Structure 1
Amino acid sequence: MKIAGLMRSAALVTAVALIPATTAGMAQVDGRVGPEFAKLFATYQRVKANYVEPVDDEKLIRGAIDGMLASLDPHSAYIDGSDLQRLETMIDGNYSGLGLSVIMDDGAVKIISPFRGSPAEKAGLKAGDLITHLDGDLIYGGDLDDAVARMRGKAGTSIKLTVFRPGREEPFDVSVTRGVIELEPVTSKLENGNIGVISVNEFSADVGSDVFAAWNDLKKQASGRLNGLVLDLRSNPGGSLDEAVALSDLFLDKGRIVSQRGRARGETLLYDAETVFRGDIAQGVPVIVLIDAGSASASEIVAGALQDHRRALVMGERSFGKGSVQSLIPLGRDAALKLTTARYYTPSGHSVQEGGIKPDIAVPQLSDPDLAKRQKFIMRESDLRGHLVNELGLKDEALETDKAEDPRFKLTAAELEKQGVEDFQLHYALETLRRTTPSAVALRK
């Protein structure tokens, strides 16, 4: 998603006036849709005149707008008031709450991913969990914005979530203490063997510069040259398209990074390397990108760019599959339309919509004790009602190949814990880099 301020159309990689004020305004409406607007206006009039209780105009108009956008795709929405403020604070990466990326799925609030280091993650919430009650109140079938507003709140206060986790027979309660979500978009650490790990948790402002600073810090910590880098994009739901381009440009010295194609003028754009950062900051260093089902949008842009240019080996699980761009279009001073306006494509012309990014090496998260039970319930873009269909018409079986068992990955979570391995995917990536020479698989130039 790309944010560029509310005074102009802004592309995000996370309405019309229903009662025209003047005859001239009506004259501008396409004559072919005139009869449909007449139906809408007639419905409005009948409801106003005959509904069992008085209904105010704002409620009816907002309901009509919400219904209109809900018929399009899961990512288009009308945003106003406090909802717009929440979006802006999320873009800034600083707000009070639980630290969850959620979506409404068939009436249920489903977790796409908890942000790393957030109160939600520390409480044990996981991608795919369904939240059914808040403080004992049923929220199933309700409004997503209302549920999100209730989960937000003053830091230090608690809220009880009732959670259904696919693979478990009974729902369970989790009490989470809200915190100030000052997400560190980028964290880094140096592992044995002079292997650097840079985790990107979201694509908020200045992520490209933050990764550049983290790389330089790792070089200072290393005893000698860095021998490898893991770029961890797992459970990263996306953010700014500009920052996805900037991050990709750090590791590419030529070629296309991503393209977006839309129907409206100005929505077809090309983004190339060497426009944000010059050169490859890690030239000669093998890179592995980690992704999972929670890696979406901007994360998929980076993984796809580095994979297509053979600059990195992609490991983990097939990504979420959100290959669309949303534009934030202001409607007055305190409202905006978040509308899907384009699809984006990797350098090779591949659309990640529905199918996501397929890793070069599929590595399951064996450290998760619920992995076997949860695997078949993992949610991706293709599972969302009303999602955009990939132009190639991907078949379900093409999306299931990453679920085949691999004889290399047989250890249980308990066995890994005894070995001191808390994160198998990261462990596998690190071990691969420790075995890698500049001519080996993880550096494929």
Structure 2
Amino acid sequence: MFRSTLLAATALSVGIALGTFALRPHLVSADSKQSDTYEQLNLFGEVFEKVRTGYVEPVSDDKLIESAVNGMLSSLDPHSSYLNAKDFADMQVQTKGEFGGLGIEVTMQDGLVKVVSPMDGTPAAEAGIQAGDLISGIDGDPVMGMSLNDAVEKMRGEIGSSIKLMIVRGNKDPFEVTLKRAVITVKSVRWELEEGNIGYVRISSFSEKTDSGLRDAIAKLKDASKGKLAGLVLDLRNNPGGLLDQAIAVSDDFLGKGEIVSTRGRNPDEAQRWNAEAGDLTDGKPIVVLINGGSASASEIVSGALQDHHRAILLGTRSFGKGSVQSVIPIPNHGAIRLTTARYYTPSGRSIQAKGIDPDIVVEQAKIEQISEDNSRHEADLKGALTNKGGTAPDSGEDAVPNKPENNAAQPESKTPGKSDSKTSQKDQSKEKPVIGSEKERITQPELDYQLGRALDLLRGLALVSNQSSSN
């Protein structure tokens, strides 16, 4: 494989030096396929020379070659591309968890830049950019006709400088959003304790420190719950993925044995398989994994492994469906190529490429809104209703009067029911809740996040069943 690549590169460099390929007949193999290859390389040399000498404006050889290489790679699939020296350095910085930009993971779709997901706490997330948004313009320039690398490069710039993106969202009219570029420091793992005994862990991406961050988060959750952790919500929504080894490590943190993921490429002999080692950070406690259309790549590896081993319940909506592996291959004295080299498969042998992972329980994201106050009447409201003596004799011979406020469980509040009151009440309640976690402000709002609320309900139910079973 590497020898043929080297030969092609050598032939290409010779063609560039001569302007066109002047291959003598005796140098061409009798094999028709090899002959066709040389003819195509000769075609490239001829086109290169005509563009170089005849284009309306001078173009550097470097730019022509880089564009040609990138075109060859990007024509294969949306994830293969050429990284020049600068892009390669930026990518290495990004995997370490700190980089400059807007904070969005993107791909190409129908000639436009598609947002896979915005990253938590970044300019893109704060500006309301959503997974699935299409970027049709950057600072007034149309994206159509740009390569993905060109579009990404245009979105980068000096820290603090502004950029305008034209956004296409569903059937809505396109609208413009102004963002300020910033140094993106991604804290890939955040945690919080809900209701004293349910852990919430948010993984926003898979960078070099994700596994160590997860281990630290779970240790702190056990501490905060005083050793009574009842279950865990693992939030992988809008997680665009990242490093394969980190996805494997995170899966291993919850699995005691069995396969985590396998990869299969062009050569069957190069298939790889990773298995879990003994040990479970949560000691077998129930886990609910939240996924949606922005959950891609590494987050799908974790979701698929935990689902196939029945270690977690997946809740939410279908994931993105990126089931391919990209190898970054450095090119000495230049940059690197990002090349799709394999597909990955879940433990049961599923390929999720272009299909995604279906959750066990489908829950669409929804806005929670209180319709009206509870003004219904109850038994305690009825005149002459018997009181609840709780199985013990009263201290005096007088029965309690059921319609007094202190005995009426259904007294309405003295305010006008309505939408604004409901929102005010929810806001006040969230302020009163104790903040337990690694952040100064709450990172979750179960009363406003419908999917998270359903995940917490599910864990409460599982904990209740478990407690009842153990007590019996």
Partners of 2:86 and 2:335 within 8 A in 1: no
Q: Deviations over 1:71-121 (max 9, x none)?
A: 211111111122212211211111122111112222212211100121111
Structure 1 match to 2:345: 345
Partners of 2:79 and 2:107 within 8 A in 1: no
Q: Deviations over 1:359-404 (max 9, x none)?
A: 00011011399xxxxxxxxxxxxxxxxxxxxxxxxxxxxxxxxxxx
Q: Deviations over 1:199-237 (max 9, x none)?
A: 111110031121111000000001441011001111111
Higher relative contact order (CA 8 A, sep 6+): 1
Structure 2 match to 1:167: 171
Residue identity matched to 1:185: S
Q: Deviations over 1:261-292 (max 9, x none)?
A: 11247741110001xxx411112310011111
Structure 1 match to 2:396: none
Structure 1 match to 2:214: 211
**Aligned residue-pair number:** 378
Structure 2 match to 1:429: 455
Residue identity matched to 1:124: G
In structure 1, what is the Cα distance between the partners aligned to 2:423 and 2:75? Answer: 46
In structure 2, what is the Cα distance between the partners aligned to 1:317 and 1:415? Answer: 31
In structure 1, what is the Cα distance between the partners aligned to 2:423 and 2:80? Answer: 42
Partners of 1:327 and 1:338 within 8 A in 2: yes
Percent of aligned positions that are identical: 47
Partners of 2:102 and 2:180 within 8 A in 1: yes
Partners of 1:286 and 1:438 within 8 A in 2: no
Structure 1 match to 2:316: 316
Partners of 1:284 and 1:438 within 8 A in 2: no
Q: Deviations over 1:334-369 (max 9, x none)?
A: 311110000000000000101111100011011399
> Residues 149-168 of structure 1: matches in 2 within 5 Å?
149-168=153-172
Structure 2 match to 1:291: 291
* Secondary structure of 1:435's aligned partner: helix
Partners of 2:240 and 2:296 within 8 A in 1: yes
Q: Does 1:56 align with 2:60?
A: yes
Partners of 1:197 and 1:229 within 8 A in 2: yes
2:12 corresponds to which of 16, 19, 43: 19
Bigger radius of gyration, 1 or 2? 2
Residue identity matched to 2:68: A
Residue identity matched to 2:218: W
Q: Deviations over 1:33-56 (max 9, x none)?
A: 222222222332343454444443
Residue identity matched to 2:455: A
In structure 2, what is the Cα distance between the partners aligned to 1:333 and 1:88? Answer: 16
Are the structure 2 counterparts of residues 419 and 285 from structure 1 closer, same or farther at C-alpha, using a change threshold of 3 Å? farther
Residue identity matched to 2:221: L
The structure with the greater share of residues assigned to helix is 2
Structure 1 residue 181: Cα displacement: 0.9
In structure 1, what is the Cα distance between the partners aligned to 2:465 and 2:318? Answer: 26
In structure 1, what is the Cα distance between the partners aligned to 2:307 and 2:90? Answer: 34
Structure 1 residue 142: Cα displacement: 2.3
2:229 corresponds to which of 223, 226, 231: 226
Structure 1 match to 2:201: 198
In structure 2, what is the Cα distance between the partners aligned to 1:356 and 1:414? Answer: 39
In structure 2, what is the Cα distance between the partners aligned to 1:33 and 1:419? Answer: 71
Q: Deviations over 1:296-328 (max 9, x none)?
A: 110000000000000000111110101110111
Structure 2 match to 1:246: 249
In structure 2, what is the Cα distance between the partners aligned to 1:316 and 1:414? Answer: 28
* Secondary structure of 1:154's aligned partner: coil
Deviates more, 1:147-156 or 1:179-188: 147-156
TM-score by length of 2: 0.74
> Residues 1-400 of structure 1: matches in 2 within 5 Å?
16-17=9-10, 19-21=12-14, 30-168=34-172, 170-264=173-267, 267-274=270-277, 278-367=278-367
Are the structure 2 counterparts of residues 19 and 334 from structure 1 closer, same or farther at C-alpha, using a change threshold of 3 Å? closer
Residue identity matched to 1:210: G
* Secondary structure of 2:355's aligned partner: coil
* Secondary structure of 1:325's aligned partner: strand
Structure 1 residue 146: Cα displacement: 3.0
In structure 2, what is the Cα distance between the partners aligned to 1:258 and 1:32? Answer: 39
In structure 2, what is the Cα distance between the partners aligned to 1:146 and 1:248? Answer: 35
In structure 1, what is the Cα distance between the partners aligned to 2:220 and 2:234? Answer: 15
In structure 2, what is the Cα distance between the partners aligned to 1:34 and 1:438? Answer: 70
Are the structure 2 counterparts of residues 344 and 57 from structure 1 closer, same or farther at C-alpha, using a change threshold of 3 Å? same
* Secondary structure of 2:14's aligned partner: coil
Provide structure 1 residue ranges, at least 5 long, that are not aligned to the other structure: 1-14, 370-412, 441-445
In structure 2, what is the Cα distance between the partners aligned to 1:231 and 1:290? Answer: 6
Structure 1 residue 68: Cα displacement: 1.4
Are the structure 2 counterparts of residues 132 and 227 from structure 1 closer, same or farther at C-alpha, using a change threshold of 3 Å? same
Partners of 1:239 and 1:298 within 8 A in 2: yes
Structure 1 residue 254: Cα displacement: 0.6
Structure 1 residue 160: Cα displacement: 2.5
Are the structure 2 counterparts of residues 439 and 33 from structure 1 closer, same or farther at C-alpha, using a change threshold of 3 Å? farther
Structure 1 residue 259: Cα displacement: 0.3
In structure 1, what is the Cα distance between the partners aligned to 2:193 and 2:186? Answer: 20
In structure 2, what is the Cα distance between the partners aligned to 1:224 and 1:283? Answer: 11
Are the structure 2 counterparts of residues 157 and 43 from structure 1 closer, same or farther at C-alpha, using a change threshold of 3 Å? closer
Deviates more, 1:340-349 or 1:428-437: 428-437
Provide structure 2 residue ranges, at least 5 long, that are not aligned to the other structure: 1-7, 16-22, 370-418, 427-446, 467-472
Partners of 2:315 and 2:362 within 8 A in 1: yes
Are the structure 2 counterparts of residues 49 and 124 from structure 1 closer, same or farther at C-alpha, using a change threshold of 3 Å? closer
In structure 1, what is the Cα distance between the partners aligned to 2:197 and 2:56? Answer: 71
